Amino acid sequence: MLIDDLKLPLLTRKYVDDITVSEILAHDEDGRMQSAFDEIEAWSATNYMNINCKKTKETILGPLSKQQPLPLLISDHNVEQVTSYMLSWTWVIC
């Protein structure tokens, strides 16, 4: 089963059943990542696919604002925030 029909309003890289979602924020801008996670969760339930919460990670690149962002949630679990990660495939956009 492929995830090609999953459409999100953020930068999305998909490969078979894996997805990487990114967003670029201005210093004072609120993120839309939680709403993207909610859409992914709804899509996965509709398509009978389970999300592996242990493999779902968040990385913040660049300086944080004075206020730490709220933790992302998926299936009522906090998404682990990590400082590095490894993908089996990568696209670099400059």
pLDDT value at residue 94: 44
- Rg of the chain over all Cα atoms, to the nearest angstrom: 14
Mind listing the pLDDT tens digit for each residue in 4-43?
788 898 988 887 778 889 998 887 788 899 999 999 999 9
**Of 54 and 68, which is predicted with more confidence?**
54
Report the mean per-residue pLDDT for the chain. Answer: 82
Q: What is the pLDDT of residue 36?
A: 93
Predicted local distance difference test score (pLDDT) of residue 88: 62
Q: Are 78 and 58 in contact (CB under 8 A)?
A: no
pLDDT value of position 78:
93
Q: In this structure, which long-range contacts are made by residues 72-79, counting pairs with CB atoms below 8 Å and at least 24 apart in sequence? A: 72/33, 72/34, 72/37, 73/34, 73/37, 74/37, 74/40, 74/41, 75/41, 75/51, 77/53, 79/37, 79/53
In the predicted model, what is the mean pLDDT of residues 66-75?
81
